[in-house]
Structure 1
Amino acid sequence: MTTIGESLIALLEHHGVDTVFGIPGVHTVELYRGLAGSKIRHVTPRHEQGAGFMADGYARASGRPGVAFVITGPGLTNTITAMAQARADSVPMLVISGVNALASLGKGLGYLHELPDQRGMMEKVALSSARVESAAELQPAIDRAFALFRTGRPGPVHIEIPLDVMGKEAAPLKPIETADLPESDHAAVVAGARMIAQAVRPIILAGGGARHAGAALTALAERLDAPVVLTANGRGLLHRHPLVVPASPSLKSVRALIGSADLAIAVGTEFGPTDYDMYADGGFVFPANLVRIDIDAEQLDRRPATVKVEADSNAGLEAMLASLSDRAPPSGTSNGAKRAENCRNAARAELARLGAALPSQLQAVEAIRDALPGALIVGDSTQPVYAGNLYYDHDRPGGWFNAATGYGALGYGPPAAIGAALARPDLPVVCLTGDGGFQFTLPEIAAAVEMQAGVMFVVWNNRGYREIELSMRDVGVEPVGVSPAPPDFAKIAEAYSLPYASVTSPAELAPQLRITAKLPAMIEYRVD
């Protein structure tokens, strides 16, 4: 007899899953019955939140959904923070959990790991939450989850299987029906192309949703001679291109560039305040003429736009290029490359005015990029990451991501970097974390060592929550609680058998990175 738990593993294999992150418990034993004999690799984090963050990093690095197995109750609630981060950043994540026996649900009888309404709680965070109550419901639930990942704005999906259902006999598997991306709205594309063809000083705003559309985005930018402003999750697109502006729209210099344009084309960006108004000064003004391309109809309706094109970024851009092919180039002189260059120069100069330490923090990030071309830099909420989110030109799309935007979960970096390294063992992976945030998920080092995940943990040690301390001082609040004592990182590295080095400058950092590339290692960057 094949059980539902065994059938679940087979279904995941059919959908291309090769890695699962999870901590087994008595409430998920039956989900593990078929795992040992499968081709799926199991990775054991040290906390369920780590499982979720690893799945997130795996998904961003691989382009495929990250999968986590967690137990009923506390295992699932421990994963909620990671799911919320994935929801904010449109990361495909499948979380499969147990739940108590069907007859006990909602009755408050005091069973182990019981929640009043586990599925109801998850529906508030996940794109969808489904319960499998019979053998016939398993495959439709799994297939629907993967269809959601392929055809809409991705995010976390939750499926729960009751304890008394996991071990029952499974239903025969059916062929998987693939779901196609929705076609671009032709009328909206034509209307957008008509506006674009009349623009003299166009600009493009590209977010994380455009990461996979680099060729089409570059082609449209060059066709229009339009500067391309990248949000944090869009960094790496058009690396070193004359038209690229790898700077935050929260900077006054970038806002001035956007304000001078007579048309803006927004691709795969939600216009979130952590990108467009991180200082909460209300200074970002939506362009009067705005064409938006986004896969999510609800997202399109949340912000004003002149023309809204519901489409995958790549498909929408290609449709727009095709519609523009029979139209004359914009009249007048756009001077796109010069406008972009002036904005880049002004944005870097603005960093120094915002904070004396920001340029040196950016230099540390650039030292990582230059020492390890093509690396994935996975960040936590720490000062050099904030600096990079304000201005930084990464050298590969999707290679710069962190939790300092969107939901902003501290402790994200280390486990997410482990997931990314397991997804892409061919690439160097750097975790850029602070001494405070690192302590949120410090035990996950053990998983990196155990799985030989090639992560270089670069710990920005300024002995506390320095950014929060500065924020308190800026508004006249006496700092309290912002100086948690860091551990002795050299001894931490020794305890986990990690190579360790200590540096104090970008010049010292680069050679240490080259020495430890592709190894689990720790570099402590000590900040005065």
Structure 2
Amino acid sequence: MSMSGAEAILGQMMANGVDTIFGLPGGQLDHFFDAMYNAGDKLRLFSTRHEQGAAYMAFGYARSTGKPGVYTVVPGPGVLNTTAALCSAYATNAPVFCLTGQIPSEGIGKGIGYLHELPDQLATMRTLTKWADRAMTPESAPGLVNQGFTQMLSGRPRPVSLEMPMDVMGAKGAVELLPAAARDQAPSLDEDAIAAAVALLKNARNPLIIAGGGAIAAGEALEQLAAMLQAPVVAFRSGRGVVSDRSHLSQMFPAGYDLWKHADVVIGIGSRMEQQYLYWKVPAHMKVIRIDIDAEELDRIAVPAVAIHADAADAVPALVEKLGRVIDLRASREDELTELAARVRGDVAARVQPQASYLAAIRAALPDDGYFVDEITQVGYTSWYSFPVYEPRHIVTCGYQGTLGYGYATALGVKAAHPDKAVVNVVGDGGFLFTANEMATAAQHGIALVTVLFNNNKFQNVQRQQKEWFGGRLIASDLKNPDFVKFAESFGIRAERVTSPDALQAAIVAALDRNEPALIEVPCGDMASPWPFIIRPPVFDVA
């Protein structure tokens, strides 16, 4: 049928199941926003106050659902404003789809100086994404949209980008919409590699499982494998919740450091294992089995004893099935592992305050199926290993990118994805102001996110390092802040100030019951360093 380029892109997006888009309008997107208007109630549009807010919201949507998070912004400075979110999506294997405009097609590559022109926007986007392309006709749009979906969701999920010049968005063409894109077939299981892994695991005395974000796909099978082997499961950020923290088999990251000392066979499932390889160190006697859908990841740092290039959803059930034929019933380690978990949690509670107490209050207020979104702040760092998580994807972080300021806007995207679930976000006073303007978006769209703001009027991590490493020469780490309660109220958001964990717990419960946007400020002084439980000396002396 006859469609504009904008209608063709949107129609094919919707053919792929997209019903939510985050974005900010502008000249090169006028036709696309008109197409979204004409889609009516088939599409939810969350309009934001900054391009980075739109991209972070799409990131939060993708991280908490595993489904594509889509955002649209103008080219040039608009799309460049979103690149921190794209970096975070790339780091955490989040399926984020960036839709951006372009200058008029006749001017591309000529350097004339059109509004929002970049020297080579497509080349720039290709350095930040798994795939990027340009649609130069309405007719080509459906095929390119599907290519983007196939690339984004096949193998290791990662962000993609598609651009279209503004004149092509308005031009009409004879467009045929396509069925939804298909994912590329997962790698075939290497039966010899599975057999080699089974042989190692059969005789393992102290097996250990390291779970990353790629382990989420394995679901129930991973827990079956852990139970069969009585192997504790350790996760740091993205893999948390794959095995509920209520299970004795799920162990905190610091407990993993102790378990590493005695492990003889380690299974890394969908994890980069960079903490273990780079910091804890792998001795010669330890055998490592790695399962990853990304072939390049398997030996990126070191060559494992067994490399299984596969989707964890295929490989882990295969291991369970074949191991079940040959393994003897193992004695439960519940008492031992329960004692270890209690000891480590007690150690954290004694040494990392007030973060541990405030996180306990948040956990008590948040329903089991609620979502927790961190930030690059002292409480956020501590949550990576001490906040109990009961389901996968229910703790959202930015992974190794450490994207300061990402948290508030990302949490809005999480809440937009799960309007019927509780979502609590923690922020620091430094990072919060990166996207605090999106309180306007929360108020406008009624996004009932509860945000807890810890305010000590400084970048504490920076200041701690200035004190410890540079003789106390403080520079640019003290902050002048607004009155955050009045600031939130100016957007029409209910805000309050509390000064204890008990008061925080009560305030969160009340805010969740109101089901409206809320800000809870917690004035605080310097907090204990969370890093001794993350950055540890090598377990083994390996050259």
Instruction: Report the TM-score, using the length of structure 1 for normalisation.
Output: 0.92
Q: What is the CA–CA distance in structure 1 between the aligned matches of 2:250 and 2:385, rounded to whole Å?
A: 14
Note closer, same or farther for the CA distance 1:413–1:422 as it changes in structure 2 (3 Å cut).
Answer: same
Asked whether the 8 Å contact 1:254–1:347 carries over to 2, the reply is no
Note closer, same or farther for the CA distance 1:156–1:286 as it changes in structure 2 (3 Å cut).
Answer: farther
Residue 159 (structure 1) aligned with residue 162 (structure 2): yes
Q: In structure 2, what is the equivalent of residue 296 of structure 1?
A: 294
Residue 260 (structure 1) aligned with residue 262 (structure 2): yes
Residue 269 (structure 1) aligned with residue 247 (structure 2): no
Instruction: Report the TM-score, using the length of structure 2 for normalisation.
Output: 0.90
Q: What is the CA–CA distance in structure 2 between the aligned matches of 1:266 and 1:342, rounded to whole Å?
A: 24
Q: What is the CA–CA distance in structure 1 between the aligned matches of 2:281 and 2:88, rounded to whole Å?
A: 24
CA shift for structure 1 position 268: 1.2
Q: In structure 2, what is the equivalent of residue 409 of structure 1?
A: 403
Deviations 1:72-125 (A, max 9, x none): 100110011100011001111000111122332222211111111111111111
Q: What is the CA–CA distance in structure 1 between the aligned matches of 2:364 and 2:349, rounded to whole Å?
A: 22
Q: Percent identity?
A: 33
Deviates more, 1:8-17 or 1:472-481: 472-481
Q: 1:167-316 alignment to 2 at 5 Å?
A: 167-170=170-173, 171-179=175-183, 181-182=185-186, 183-236=188-241, 237-247=243-253, 251=254, 254-273=256-275, 282-285=279-282, 288-304=286-302, 305-316=304-315
Q: In structure 1, what is the equivalent of residue 128 of structure 2?
A: 125
Q: In structure 2, what is the equivalent of residue 520 of structure 1?
A: 517
Asked whether the 8 Å contact 2:24–2:47 carries over to 1, the reply is yes
Residue 114 (structure 1) aligned with residue 117 (structure 2): yes
CA shift for structure 1 position 342: 4.7
Asked whether the 8 Å contact 1:81–1:409 carries over to 2, the reply is yes
Q: Which amino acid in 2 is paired with 1:266?
A: G
Q: What is the aligned counterpart of 1:393 among 382, 388, 402?
A: 388
Q: In structure 1, what is the equivalent of residue 491 of structure 2?
A: 496
Deviates more, 1:186-195 or 1:60-69: 186-195
Query: Secondary structure of the equivalent of 2:100?
Result: strand
CA shift for structure 1 position 26: 0.3
Residue 142 (structure 1) aligned with residue 141 (structure 2): no
Q: What is the aligned counterpart of 2:334 among 332, 337, 354?
A: 337
Q: What is the CA–CA distance in structure 2 between the aligned matches of 1:105 and 1:18, rounded to whole Å?
A: 31
Deviates more, 1:87-96 or 1:502-511: 502-511
Query: Secondary structure of the equivalent of 1:211?
Result: helix
Deviates more, 1:201-210 or 1:140-149: 140-149
Query: Secondary structure of the equivalent of 1:134?
Result: coil
Q: What are the ranges of 5 or more consecutive residues in structure 1 without an aligned counterpart?
A: none
RMSD: 2.0
Q: What is the CA–CA distance in structure 2 between the aligned matches of 1:334 and 1:202, rounded to whole Å?
A: 13
Q: Which amino acid in 2 is paired with 1:30?
A: H
Deviations 1:166-202 (A, max 9, x none): 1222421233352254143333222212221121110
Query: Secondary structure of the equivalent of 1:113?
Result: coil
Q: In structure 2, what is the equivalent of residue 32 of structure 1?
A: 33
Q: In structure 2, what is the equivalent of residue 58 of structure 1?
A: 61
Residue 47 (structure 1) aligned with residue 45 (structure 2): no
CA shift for structure 1 position 285: 3.2
Q: What is the CA–CA distance in structure 1 between the aligned matches of 2:59 and 2:76, rounded to whole Å?
A: 21
Note closer, same or farther for the CA distance 1:465–1:62 as it changes in structure 2 (3 Å cut).
Answer: same
Asked whether the 8 Å contact 2:12–2:178 carries over to 1, the reply is no
Asked whether the 8 Å contact 2:63–2:94 carries over to 1, the reply is yes
Asked whether the 8 Å contact 1:6–1:31 carries over to 2, the reply is yes
Asked whether the 8 Å contact 2:358–2:504 carries over to 1, the reply is yes
Note closer, same or farther for the CA distance 1:472–1:111 as it changes in structure 2 (3 Å cut).
Answer: same
Asked whether the 8 Å contact 2:59–2:410 carries over to 1, the reply is yes
CA shift for structure 1 position 286: 6.6
Q: Which amino acid in 2 is paired with 1:172?
A: E
Asked whether the 8 Å contact 2:6–2:138 carries over to 1, the reply is no
Query: Secondary structure of the equivalent of 2:248?
Result: coil
Q: 1:425-504 alignment to 2 at 5 Å?
A: 425-475=419-469, 476-504=471-499
Q: What is the CA–CA distance in structure 2 between the aligned matches of 1:260 and 1:217, rounded to whole Å?
A: 21
CA shift for structure 1 position 28: 1.0
Q: In structure 2, what is the equivalent of residue 84 of structure 1?
A: 87
Deviations 1:310-359 (A, max 9, x none): 222222211211221211237xx676435533542453355368xx4x24
Q: What is the CA–CA distance in structure 2 between the aligned matches of 1:234 and 1:430, rounded to whole Å?
A: 19
Query: Secondary structure of the equivalent of 2:81?
Result: helix
- Number of aligned residue pairs: 513
Q: In structure 2, what is the equivalent of residue 377 of structure 1?
A: 372
Q: Which amino acid in 1 is paired with 2:327?
A: A
CA shift for structure 1 position 150: 2.8
Q: In structure 2, what is the equivalent of residue 98 of structure 1?
A: 101
Deviates more, 1:377-386 or 1:470-479: 470-479
Deviates more, 1:333-342 or 1:466-475: 333-342
Q: What are the ranges of 5 or more consecutive residues in structure 2 without an aligned counterpart?
A: 526-543
Asked whether the 8 Å contact 2:103–2:117 carries over to 1, the reply is yes
Q: What is the CA–CA distance in structure 2 between the aligned matches of 1:235 and 1:367, rounded to whole Å?
A: 19
Q: In structure 2, what is the equivalent of residue 361 of structure 1?
A: 355
Note closer, same or farther for the CA distance 1:231–1:161 as it changes in structure 2 (3 Å cut).
Answer: same
